[in-house]
Structure 1
């Protein structure tokens, strides 16, 4: 039987830490961010640790194939940490980053990183430059390891998150049917989404360069100290996919504010990325469009108006991008 109360979970975590790491748990502060998964900053006699307990209602942890995807993602994080990347260090047992408690719940344990989050849309130019450089370094490390056949970096199967015109059309039809009784705002957003989707040409569905990507590179997963990136966190979604998706997500999350994209911040991100590896002009434009094609189907939906602040932020990014689709080339195409 899976334990669900916080006190029970903390008790089992304390026992696990003492048994396997010889660490005494002194305090546990709940981190109330994210959906369903329980997270704590753990104070111990050997410093602070971060613990995430995966909730069975969020992740299908009883599925070995799904668990292996998260394990591979955490192995990617570990690889980047060992290469000097700014991220927490996942603590391993017998080479694995995921651990199981006596109650049957799975968890990960890692070091804590300094830094604070910056609200979405408000990341400054120097901070975006620092983020761009780190993203390029992360992609380079993973690409090099994959080319050398190192462990979990070897891709298994086709890249995740590939675009399909047919899938976009089917998903939109389901959302439109479900939105019959939704507000005019929701239906207008869906109509705008359909207009943009119908305008896409075959080139928009051309696969990007494949490789390992973080796939969740948004403001809540970034920590900064002053104008410098302190850490990228939450690698659970990392998959063999398209690294450009990290670029589009970072630009949307970091630079899209109330007055639109802050071009100077976008350019700073691109400059940071180019300090490590090539990024031809127009790459960010294509990345943002590709992210929109993937994510707009998640965030523009009938439940939009009843969603919490995080989904609403993502939906606003998707709606703004759609509203300015014809101007994106002028806004971002030459960066």
Structure 2
């Protein structure tokens, strides 16, 4: 695909908005968060919108199967929005949320939501309660739609992100071999990771309850107004998987600080979730451990010390959780 400049992308997005929605673009502010994808807050004669161009260096958008997964994720977002959910509304054209520009780039445009991000580890009890309730609302909407066989929510088959002991052990061996020249901090993190994997029993690999999940429910994808959640954003990774993974990812991001887990914030999140749907005691603990078993192999890498801010935060979450692994049951098992 020929190189496309930022100005060309904006011009084509502006023309697309004018042609299909009679919207005039007045100004655009680049959002420089995330990897490679170009994003803007755009001011129009009908209010503010958010535009996102999918960079071919990040996503294989020429692959119809992969592109279909992103479109489906956006359709799930639309389902949640139309149910009254706290998220932006994707603009649809002929039923599609993803659109192609003349330059060949795929993009999506959606409404803007109020609110601001809160730093990871600092979301607090009231906000965590609000987030828990919103997560439960989201899961309930998708479960209901799936039970009705409704479009994007119709289960595609086997859930993604199922645990495999063999894959975990194989990945660890590769990383350990590659970490020969890494710092002692990295090698210690890998040693601890191996000890935890070796300690896992068969019950730890039993799949969680399957369903649709956001799968990226962390601080940068949450907007708050005061103590209330204003919006969940960035649904691109939503897949048929295990909804409990959203719970584990949310509390790791929102309630894990330098001194460990804030038990009151975790309890508030669980209470918010239970306002909408059941969450048996111990479910949050298992969700955290399941997320760790998946994500620790993404973020605890030989190159950890040179990671940028976001991967470094995720790696720190994995290390802090591992350091407290044996105390997790006592600390969180009753929540």
Counterpart residue number, 1:36: 36
Task: Tell me the SS of whatever aligns to 2:55.
Answer: coil
Counterpart residue number, 2:268: 268
Output the CA distance in 2 between the equivalents of 1:269 and 1:317: 18
Task: Tell me the SS of whatever aligns to 1:159.
Answer: coil
Output the CA distance in 2 between the equivalents of 1:318 and 1:254: 14
Alignment of 1:264-303 (within 5 A): 264-303=264-303
Counterpart residue number, 1:252: 252
Q: Is the 8 A contact 1:179 1:302 kept in 2?
A: yes
Out of 207-216 and 15-24, give the one that drifted further.
15-24
Offset of residue 2 of structure 1: 3.7
Counterpart residue number, 1:319: 319
Offset of residue 15 of structure 1: 1.0
Q: Is the 8 A contact 2:222 2:231 kept in 1?
A: yes
Out of 53-62 and 175-184, give the one that drifted further.
175-184
Counterpart residue number, 2:104: 104
Offset of residue 131 of structure 1: 0.3
Runs of 4 or more consecutive aligned structure 1 residues displaced over 2 Å after TM superposition: 1-4
Correspondence 1:190 to 2:190? yes
Offset of residue 173 of structure 1: 1.1
Task: Tell me the SS of whatever aligns to 2:303.
Answer: helix
Q: Is the 8 A contact 1:3 1:103 kept in 2?
A: no
Q: Is the 8 A contact 1:161 1:241 kept in 2?
A: yes
Correspondence 1:206 to 2:206? yes
Output the CA distance in 2 between the equivalents of 1:160 and 1:285: 20
Alignment of 1:141-160 (within 5 A): 141-160=141-160
Output the CA distance in 2 between the equivalents of 1:129 and 1:325: 24
- TM-score of the superposition, structure 1-length normalised? 0.99
Unaligned runs of 5+ residues in structure 1 are: none
Alignment of 1:122-141 (within 5 A): 122-141=122-141
Task: Tell me the SS of whatever aligns to 1:181.
Answer: coil
Counterpart residue number, 1:62: 62
Offset of residue 4 of structure 1: 2.5
Q: Is the 8 A contact 1:3 1:9 kept in 2?
A: no
Output the CA distance in 2 between the equivalents of 1:3 and 1:157: 37
Q: Is the 8 A contact 1:213 1:243 kept in 2?
A: yes
Q: Is the 8 A contact 2:4 2:103 kept in 1?
A: no
Output the CA distance in 2 between the equivalents of 1:169 and 1:251: 26
Counterpart residue number, 1:11: 11
Counterpart residue number, 2:116: 116
- TM-score of the superposition, structure 2-length normalised? 0.99
Output the CA distance in 2 between the equivalents of 1:2 and 1:288: 43
Output the CA distance in 1 between the equivalents of 2:2 and 2:318: 38
Q: Is the 8 A contact 1:3 1:105 kept in 2?
A: no
Output the CA distance in 2 between the equivalents of 1:318 and 1:99: 37
Counterpart residue number, 2:305: 305
Offset of residue 43 of structure 1: 0.5
Output the CA distance in 2 between the equivalents of 1:180 and 1:3: 39
Offset of residue 180 of structure 1: 1.2
Counterpart residue number, 2:231: 231
Root-mean-square deviation (Å) = 0.7
Output the CA distance in 2 between the equivalents of 1:271 and 1:164: 31
Task: Tell me the SS of whatever aligns to 2:118.
Answer: coil
Offset of residue 242 of structure 1: 0.1
Offset of residue 157 of structure 1: 2.1
Task: Tell me the SS of whatever aligns to 1:51.
Answer: strand
Q: Is the 8 A contact 2:133 2:275 kept in 1?
A: yes
